[in-house]
Amino acid sequence: MWKSFVPVVVNLLLGIPAVVPAFLVWYVLSNGPLAELGWTQREPTENDGMWLWLVFVVPVVGVFGGFWALINLWMRRRLITEASSYPYWPLAVILPLAPYLLGVAFG
């Protein structure tokens, strides 16, 4: 029984450092393509262009995504014994976003 709670707790804990890549992705999207579509407003002091931000965002998101994938693949293989992976992967994607979304909603 406790094995089914381990991935939930680990993914929620992974959500704490996931705040950084989630914010960086939102910042690039809100100042780039979403601002071009008129859905958001650009940051008034942002005049360096998007290339500089992508130099930071791609490695941070890549390192976190790789670590997240390795941890979840290992937990899926070792701790979850059911044949169906349907409930595991949607929760593994949503749970790390929970701290960021809570911070946006109540911050």
Provide DSSP, 62-75.
HHHHHHHHHHHHHH
Structure tokens at 76: 């899926």
Q: How far apart are CA 79 and CA 92, in angstroms?
A: 14
Instruction: Output the pLDDT for position 97.
Output: 95
Instruction: Output the pLDDT for position 2.
Output: 64
Distances (CA, A) of 93 to 19, 56, 65: 13, 22, 11
88 within 8 A of 76, measured Cβ to Cβ:
yes
Amino acid identity at 36: E
Instruction: Output the pLDDT for position 84.
Output: 64
Band the pLDDT of 9: cuts 50, 70, 90: very high
Structure tokens at 55: 């130099």
Find the radius of gyration of the CA atoms of the chain: 17
Q: Is the pLDDT of residue 14 over 80?
A: yes
50 within 8 A of 31, measured Cβ to Cβ:
yes
- In tens, the pLDDT along 51-90 reads 888 899 999 999 999 999 999 999 988 877 665 667 888 9
Residue-averaged pLDDT of the chain:
89
